[in-house]
């Protein structure tokens, strides 16, 4: 029987970070991965293929808009095969970074199959080989959650695991789920020529975002596809030719919607059901593993990272968790994870940037002693010159100017708002961003101008403002 210092179950972002980090410090590491190649959901069925598809669709959309603006005409249907090829090419280009060959070169023993706990330290692989681990890291990720809708089991439907394998674009598509996945891919497929309808149970789309951010995105999306919030799907049935009929309820009205294809984007389900966790008494939080801030389970030598725990279901968060586990599992540290300074981006067009608390959350947790700074993108010269003025920056601070939350919607918001992450992480005040020289004209000026409002309030209003004005009148 082979013995290891650390066994990692799952080869996604979190698991690969642990495996590479631990072996680099001299630990003997085993990695168990169920797929042919590591990389996890992000590489194979998530971040990478979706962003490649979004980029291809945006390129086509921009070409059409430009042609129309300059009096030109584009004819014919887009070749969806080209978008498919770009998706596959992107995955192939990135795969070597996460390949079995690379990790074996690093010194990691890679096993293929499903790992299951036989006891506290022994992992059985595919019901056959058993290996021993002093410490074990669970990083098995998640899969698409399938809602309990009558008839759904009798029809073909797409999820993030199959949508990128489509060789042809359906003429019409219904998306169940108005979160980031449903809206990002719905918009991309609409731009490629598909008639898209998005159905969501919530009273508003993107419920985790600040309330002032969502209208900008919704207005843009409504120009490209049909959005149906506050709508429940009661039943799905198959029609001739592969079409589907959905029986839905919206605001008390019973309606029917038909489409050629159905895409399920109704959340994620952690991959914890095949691990045999109940055999060893791992504490659970529903379907998720209950983890402490040190990312240990109730069994101290067993850790959990990524989508299997109920925190931030994002690739970059899993990578951060993996780094913490390396220190804790290899060196016996007690470093604690914090998500206070972890941002996320929703890659619709326009993009949404989210960091920290929304205004509603800040008022609930801090009280009304907060300050709100907002700026419309039509006040920023670079957005004006580029013709992308629809959007807003919104920063929430405490009374001393420390950032509690930063939000934006606009072209490339996920890039030019990153300086807010640095400021919040290192405890800088919003006013510090105002003191940094930004090149003109640049998109990042949007956050700088928002930060300028701090000084405008301090220097030209209130007691300080009145004292300065009195000084100027008296002595100058």
User: pLDDT tens across 318-335, in order?
Assistant: 999 999 999 999 999 999
The answer, yes or no, to whether residue 462 has pLDDT greater than 80, is no
Asked if residue 452 lies in contact with residue 434, where contact means CB atoms within 8 angstroms, the answer is: yes
Average pLDDT over residues 71-96: 95
Q: Which secondary structure element, helix H or strand E, spans residue 176, and what is its range?
A: strand 172-176
CATH number for the 2-144+269-331 domain, one of 3.40.50.970, 3.40.50.150, 3.50.50.60, 1.20.140.10?
Answer: 3.50.50.60
The answer, yes or no, to whether residue 177 has pLDDT greater than 90, is yes
Average pLDDT, the chain: 95
Encode pLDDT of 396-449 as tens digits: 999 999 999 999 999 999 999 999 999 999 999 999 999 999 999 999 999 999
The answer, yes or no, to whether residue 382 has pLDDT greater than 60, is yes
Architecture of domain 350-463: 2-Layer Sandwich (3.30)
DSSP state for residue 435 in the 8-state scheme: H
The answer, yes or no, to whether residue 161 has pLDDT greater than 90, is yes
The answer, yes or no, to whether residue 215 has pLDDT greater than 80, is yes
Domain 152-267, CATH: 3.50.50.60
Can you tell me the distance from the alpha carbon of 370 to that of 144, in angstroms, rounded to the nearest whole number? 38
DSSP state for residue 410 in the 8-state scheme: E
pLDDT at 468: 52
DSSP H helices, 25-157, are 40-45, 47-69, 80-94, 100-106
The answer, yes or no, to whether residue 362 has pLDDT greater than 90, is yes
Residues of the chain with CATH 3.50.50.60: 2-144+269-331, 152-267
This prediction's pTM: 0.95
Which residue bears the tokens 């630990």?
Answer: 27
Encode pLDDT of 108-140 as tens digits: 999 999 999 999 999 999 988 999 999 999 999
pLDDT at 311: 79
**Buried (b) or exposed (e) across 430-445, using 16+ Cβ within 10 A?**
bbbbbeeebeeeebbb
Nearest partner of 311 among 331, 332, 296, 290, judged by Cα: 290
Q: Is 38 left (phi over 0), alpha (psi -120 to 50) or beta?
A: beta
The answer, yes or no, to whether residue 463 has pLDDT greater than 70, is no
Average pLDDT over residues 74-84: 93
Q: Give whole-number Cα distances, 241 to 64, 198, 238, 245, in Å.
A: 31, 22, 9, 12
Asked if residue 31 lies in contact with residue 11, where contact means CB atoms within 8 angstroms, the answer is: yes
pLDDT at 456: 81
Average pLDDT over residues 204-213: 95
Q: Give whole-number Cα distances, 200 to 147, 249, 269, in Å.
A: 12, 11, 18
pLDDT at 472: 61
């Amino acid at each position: 029987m082979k013995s290891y210092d650390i066994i990692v179950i799952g080869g996604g972002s979190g698991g690969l970070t642990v495996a590479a980090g631990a072996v680099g410090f001299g630990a003997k590491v085993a990695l168990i991965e169920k797929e042919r190649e590591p990389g996890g959901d992000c590489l194979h069925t998530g971040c990478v293929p979706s962003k490649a598809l979004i980029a291809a669709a945006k390129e086509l959309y921009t070409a059409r808009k430009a042609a129309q603006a300059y009096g030109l005409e584009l004819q014919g249907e887009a070749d969806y095969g080209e978008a498919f090829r770009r998706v596959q090419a992107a995955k192939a280009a990135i795969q070597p970074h996460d390949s079995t060959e690379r990790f074996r070169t690093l010194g990691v023993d890679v096993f293929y199959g499903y790992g299951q706990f036989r006891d506290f330290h022994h992992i059985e692989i595919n019901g056959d080989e058993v290996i021993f681990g002093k410490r074990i890291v669970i990083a098995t990720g998640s899969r698409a959650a399938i809602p309990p809708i009558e008839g759904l089991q009798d029809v073909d439907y797409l999820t993030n695991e199959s949508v990128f394998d489509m060789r042809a674009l359906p003429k019409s598509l219904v998306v169940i789920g108005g979160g980031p996945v449903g809206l990002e891919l719905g918009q991309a497929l609409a731009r490629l020529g598909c008639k898209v309808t998005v159905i969501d149970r919530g009273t508003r789309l993107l419920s985790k975002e600040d309330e002032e951010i969502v209208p900008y995105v919704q207005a843009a999306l409504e120009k490209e596809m049909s959005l149906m919030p506050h709508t429940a799907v009661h039943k799905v049935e198959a029609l001739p030719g592969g079409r589907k009929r959905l029986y839905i309820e919206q605001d008390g009205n019973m309606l029917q919607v038909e489409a050629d294809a159905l895409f399920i984007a109704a959340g994620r389900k952690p991959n914890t059901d095949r691990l045999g966790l109940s055999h060893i008494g791992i504490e659970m939080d529903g379907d998720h593993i209950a983890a402490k801030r040190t990312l240990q389970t109730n069994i101290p030598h067993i850790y959990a990272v990524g989508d299997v725990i109920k925190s931030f279901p994002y690739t970059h968060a899993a990578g951060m968790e993996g780094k913490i586990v390396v220190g804790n599992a290899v060196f016996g540290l007690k470093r604690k994870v914090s998500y206070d300074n972890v941002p996320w981006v929703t890659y619709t067009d326009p993009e949404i940037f989210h960091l920290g608390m929304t205004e509603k959350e800040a008022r609930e947790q801090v009280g009304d002693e907060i300050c709100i700074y907002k700026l419309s993108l039509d006040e920023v010269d670079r957005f004006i010159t580029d013709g992308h003025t629809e959007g807003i920056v919104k920063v929430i601070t405490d009374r001393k100017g420390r950032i509690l939350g930063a939000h934006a919607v606009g072209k490339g918001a996920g890039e030019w708002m990153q300086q807010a992450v640095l400021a919040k992480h290192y405890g800088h005040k919003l006013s510090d961003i105002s003191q940094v020289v930004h090149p003109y004209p640049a998109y990042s000026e949007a956050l700088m101008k928002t930060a300028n409002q701090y000084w405008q309030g301090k220097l030209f209003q209130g007691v300080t403002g009145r004292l300065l004005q009195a000084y100027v009148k008296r002595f100058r």
